[in-house]
């Protein structure tokens, strides 16, 4: 057994099993404490909430609680491994929510592959949590599940595999385009992979300004073109184009941007040689990208490249999105996570990438300096400013778009987020925002 595999197994098994636990936030050491925590004292907040349901946010943890819900049918890099085998991933998601944004999580694994079962489960769950993060659900069920829940629930719901990737890679796209001196509405964009992430990213890029006629999507059957029937779904059909191109090689000839959300080895160096000058290559398959940076740079020395991995520059990591999205949404008690909020995340991250990078962030990554350029197009996950910039942008967009039920003063809110970020940056820190 490799040392890396053993380290991972030991990490999860040593001491208390797994990666999360529930911690009480109020004392319960005396008879008086017990009488407040449970009967008879607990009846008082119950009566208040029964009279005014919104008071549930004042007297319970619902306002800082997100459910991470999965059935394990499309676990990143592992496929359909089921709800039990997927549970370590969901616990890991809980750790990231807590570490980066102090959001509490219940990870909930649903033992059904039927979309209707999953939907009903989440609908019945609504009184428990302030938001739902959908995770690792196969296509096309993930689209139906999210669409139905967004239309029937009054709390924020987001499928992170789709929208987390879209928001963060969208920020990387804006930065990369500026670096190579190209306009988004003139860029030819080719997607390799037409699953949940690919379709969500393509949809988001269109909102950012990519022109529909300049975007091609390629799946395992080739280019998605008008009239194609093999391997098509209603979701893929939205990206069918009138074109004579049929293969990935055809599509990449003269393309400005390649977005890989597919599998290892699906892009070759020869394909990159066909792209336009100063191409942008996002090889985001994990753990192994569609083409390695070494092979990509061997073919082109003028590209800007990003992967999903931490051992290469320009990591497109969803942790730059989902913890802060839910932090902002929860703090204004948003009824939904809408397109305005997603765009706000992308623009906030793109703007932050151009700001001077603090020495503390450089030290965390073992480098002397970082600055906006070909090897730094998105902020680093451990940059504490991301919490402030993204969560406040989400809160503002929620208020501006009318889905916030409890508006905040943005200047005061940013101050609270800065204090929270400082606490989270400390070793073994914890605690809710004030």
265 alpha carbon, distance to own chain's centre? 24
Provide the pLDDT confidence category of residue 280 given band limits of 50, 70 and 90: very high
Query: Are residues 297 and 303 in contact, defined by beta-carbon separation less than 8 angstroms?
Result: yes
Active site members? 38, 93
Q: Tokens representing 61?
A: 């943890």
Q: Report the alpha-carbon distance of residue 84 to residue 81 in Å, rounded.
A: 8
Domains of the chain, each with CATH number or no CATH: 62-155 (3.40.50.10380), 163-307 (3.40.50.720), 328-424 (no CATH)
| pLDDT of residue 433 exceeding 50 | no
What would the pLDDT profile of 204-256 be if each residue is shown by its tens digit? 999 999 999 999 999 999 999 999 999 999 999 999 999 999 999 999 999 99
Sheet with 65-70: strands ordered across: 104-109, 65-70, 131-134, 157-159
Do residues 39 and 101 touch, judged by C-beta distance below 8 A? no
Alpha-carbon distance of 170 to 210, in angstroms, equals: 11
Question: Does residue 140 have a cis peptide bond before it, meaning omega lies within 30 degrees of 0?
Answer: yes
Instruction: Write down the pLDDT at residue 22.
Output: 92
Helix (H) or strand (E) holding 217: strand 215-219
Is the pLDDT at 97 greater than 80? The verdict is: yes
Q: What is the per-residue pLDDT across 357-412, written as a single tens digit (0 to 9) for each?
A: 999 899 988 899 999 999 999 999 899 999 999 999 999 999 999 999 999 999 99
d(CA 387, CA 324): 6
pTM greater than 0.75: yes
When pLDDT is averaged across residues 258-287 and rounded to a whole number, the result is 96
Structure confidence at residue 215 (pLDDT): 98
> Residue 364's CB: how many other CB atoms inside 10 A?
15
The number of beta carbons lying within 10 Å of the beta carbon of residue 86 is 24
CB atoms within 10 A of CB 19: 16
Mean pLDDT to the nearest integer, 167-179: 98
Name the percent of the chain lying above pLDDT 70.
98
Check residue 212 and report its DSSP letter.
Answer: G
Q: By the 8 A CB rule, do 212 and 229 touch?
A: no
């Amino acid at each position: 057994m490799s040392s890396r595999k053993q380290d991972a197994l030991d990490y999860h098994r040593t001491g208390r099993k797994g990666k999360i636990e529930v911690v009480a936030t109020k004392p319960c050491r005396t008879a008086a404490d017990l009488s407040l925590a449970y009967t008879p004292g607990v009846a008082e907040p119950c009566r208040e909430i029964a009279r005014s349901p919104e008071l549930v946010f004042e007297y319970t943890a619902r306002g800082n609680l997100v459910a991470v819900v999965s059935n394990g049918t499309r676990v990143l890099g592992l496929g359909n491994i089921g709800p039990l085998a997927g549970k370590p991933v969901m616990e890991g998601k809980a750790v990231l929510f807590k570490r980066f944004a102090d959001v509490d999580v219940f990870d909930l694994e649903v033992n059904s592959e039927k979309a209707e079962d999953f939907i009903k489960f989440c609908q019945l769950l609504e009184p428990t949590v302030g938001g739902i993060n959908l995770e690792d659900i196969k296509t096309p069920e993930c689209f139906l599940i999210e669409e139905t829940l967004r239309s029937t629930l009054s709390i924020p719901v987001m499928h992170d595999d789709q929208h987390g990737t879209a928001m963060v890679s969208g920020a990387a796209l804006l930065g990369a385009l500026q670096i190579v001196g190209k306009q988004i509405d003139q860029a030819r964009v080719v997607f390799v992979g037409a699953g949940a992430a690919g379709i969500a990213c393509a949809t988001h890029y269109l909102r950012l300004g990519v022109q529909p006629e300049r975007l091609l999507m390629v799946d395992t059957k080739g280019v998605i073109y008008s009239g194609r029937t093999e391997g098509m779904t209603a979701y893929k059909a939205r990206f069918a184009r009138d074109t004579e191109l049929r293969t990935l090689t055809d599509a990449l000839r003269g393309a400005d941007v390649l977005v890989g959300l597919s599998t290892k080895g699906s892009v070759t160096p020869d394909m990159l040689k066909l792209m336009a000058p100063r191409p942008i290559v996002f090889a985001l398959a994990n753990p192994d990208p569609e083409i390695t940076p070494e092979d990509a740079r061997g073919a082109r020395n003028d590209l800007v490249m990003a992967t999903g991995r931490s051992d290469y520059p320009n990591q497109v990591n969803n942790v730059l999105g989902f913890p802060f999205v839910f932090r902002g949404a929860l703090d204004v008690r948003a009824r939904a996570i809408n397109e305005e909020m997603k765009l706000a995340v992308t623009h906030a991250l793109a703007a932050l990438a151009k700001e001077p990078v603090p020495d503390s962030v450089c030290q965390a990554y073992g480098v002397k300096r970082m600055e906006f350029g070909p090897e730094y197009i998105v902020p680093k996950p451990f940059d504490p400013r991301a919490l402030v910039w993204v969560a406040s942008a989400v809160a503002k967009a929620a208020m501006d778009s009318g889905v916030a039920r409890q508006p905040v003063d943005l200047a005061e809110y940013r101050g609270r987020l800065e204090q929270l970020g400082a606490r989270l940056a400390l070793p073994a820190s914890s605690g809710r925002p004030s």
